[in-house]
Amino acid sequence: MAATLLSSTHVAPTHRVRVERVRDEAMGIRSFQFVPVDGVPLSGWKPGAHVDVHLPSGTIRQYSLCGDLTDRESYRIAVLEIVDGRGGSVEVHRELTEGAVLEIGVPRNDFRLQDAPAYLFIAGGIGITPILAMIKEVAAAGKPWRLVYGARSAANFAFTEEIDALAATTWGRVDYVPQDTAGHADLPTLVKNSVGHGVYCCGPGPLMDALGAEMTKQARGSDLVIERFTPPEIVVADGAGSFEVELTESGVTVTVEPDVSILEAIRDAGVDVPSSCEMGICGTCETRVISGDIEHNDSLLTDDERDAGDVMMICVSRACSPKLVLAR
């Protein structure tokens, strides 16, 4: 297992769906069930998969699937409304009412469940969404699992009925950790007691950073698989200069200043580049690198892919050489 996301290629096909049901799952969290408009079965998926959701404004956001893996007639996602966020979650909560019709992408999976004798799942807040599908698969396989689920308070835990039912009928254990009364999960002890387990985590950046550090400290880094909803903070070093980017297909060369992304610089030059998350998570802006040295700031590529140096996410990654030549 790799202590990073596994990458996949962005795919364009979509399903036209209708919002069949909207349900409040916890404070600020709603689930949305989609069914196909044309009656054609939806694409199959595996735990950890997510879909692009094309919102009425034209915004595209990625959300993990958390419904029934065997159900080809519907998909379910859950979304935490973040009022001071980038606007996508607010639009989902306000515009995706029952009966609304929209397009969603086919499932992509950058957070694959791999075979292990037992599993430790650690979820924080809305990070329960991909973890829930994993638990269902592991439980169906009859393998032991443990979920440690942290949230701000008891009111912020989602899907507790489903989780408790799985724990009651399979080789499962659940520990709810409300931060307001119980503080934070005891990561050193959890890591120490999970030797031989696959460890999967999704949630806020500080949680995953702390878990990753503890896994590394206990020489368990290779057992950890994570998924980030937000990327690590990108810090441009003081004094970092500009660099050149040459686009072989467009015949354009741009100068990228320290406070501008490659994606922004290319668009300012009139070159249209598809993108979605613009946080180095989704892979939509993945670009082939012909020459130059890359400073990878994404949360998607594996270590091997970074070492190969032939692709990059131009929304967040930069050059650590005077010039990059890209196939755009």
Domain spans, the chain: 14-108, 119-228, 243-326
For residue 147, how far is the Cα from the chain centroid?
A: 19
Distances (CA, A) of 31 to 1, 51, 82, 92, 185: 30, 14, 15, 10, 26
Q: Is the pLDDT of residue 8 over 60?
A: no
Instruction: Say if strands 119-124 and 198-203 run parallel, antiparallel, or are unpaired.
Output: parallel
Q: Which CATH number fits the domain 14-108, given the four candidates 3.90.76.10, 3.40.50.1100, 2.40.30.10, 3.90.110.10?
A: 2.40.30.10
**pLDDT, tens digit (0-9, with 9 covering 90-100), for 209-219:** 899 999 999 99
Predicted pLDDT at 2: 31
**Is the separation of the CB atoms in 297 and 236 below 8 Å?**
no
- Name the pairing type of β-strands 101-105 and 145-151: unpaired
What residues have CB less than 8 Å from 279, skipping those under 6 apart?
Answer: 230, 231, 299, 315, 316
**What does the pLDDT average to over 146-174?**
97
Query: Where is pLDDT greater, at 290 or 222?
Result: 290
Q: What is the mean pLDDT of residues 160-169?
A: 97
33-37, 110-114, 137-141, 271-275: which has the minimum mean pLDDT? 271-275
**221 vs 133: CA distance, rounded Å:** 23
Q: What is the CATH number of domain 243-326?
A: 3.10.20.30
Q: Are 113 and 140 in contact (CB under 8 A)?
A: no
Average pLDDT, the chain: 89
Does residue 87 contact residue 59 with C-beta atoms inside 8 Å?
A: yes
Residues with Cβ < 8 Å from 320, sequence gap 6 or more? 293, 294, 295
3-state DSSP call for residue 82?
coil
User: Do 14-108 and 243-326 fold alike per CATH?
Assistant: no
pLDDT at 10 over 50: no
Using pLDDT thresholds of 50, 70 and 90, give the confidence band for residue 230. Answer: low
Residue 249 has pLDDT above 90, yes or no: yes
Q: How confident is the model at residue 6 (pLDDT cuts 50, 70, 90)?
A: very low
Maximum CA pair distance of the chain? 61
Query: Which position has the higher pLDDT, 277 or 176?
Result: 176
Q: Which residue has the higher pLDDT, 280 or 261?
A: 261
Is the pLDDT score of 252 beyond 90? yes
Short-list 287, 243, 280, 248, CA closest to 265: 243
* Whole-number pLDDT of residue 304: 83
CATH number of the structural domain 119-228: 3.40.50.80
Check residue 97 and give its pLDDT. Answer: 97
Q: Tell me the torsion sign for CA atoms 11, 69, 126, 22.
A: positive
State whether the Cα torsion 218-131-95-106 is positive or negative.
positive
- Residues facing residue 119 across a β-bridge: 145, 198
- Of 238 and 316, the structure prediction assigns the larger pLDDT to 316
Q: What single-letter amino acid sits at 323?
A: K
**3-state secondary structure (DSSP) of residue 299:** coil
d(Cα 175, Cα 180) in Å, to the nearest integer? 15
Please give the model's pTM, rounded to 2 decimal places. Answer: 0.77
Q: Please report, rounded to a whole number, the percentage of residues in the chain having pLDDT higher than 90.
A: 73
Task: Examine the pLDDT at 273 and tell me if it is beyond 90.
Answer: no
Task: Tell me, rounded to whole angstroms, the distance of Cα 256 from its chain centroid.
Answer: 27
- Phi/psi region, residue 132 (left: phi>0; alpha: psi -120 to 50; beta: rest), is alpha
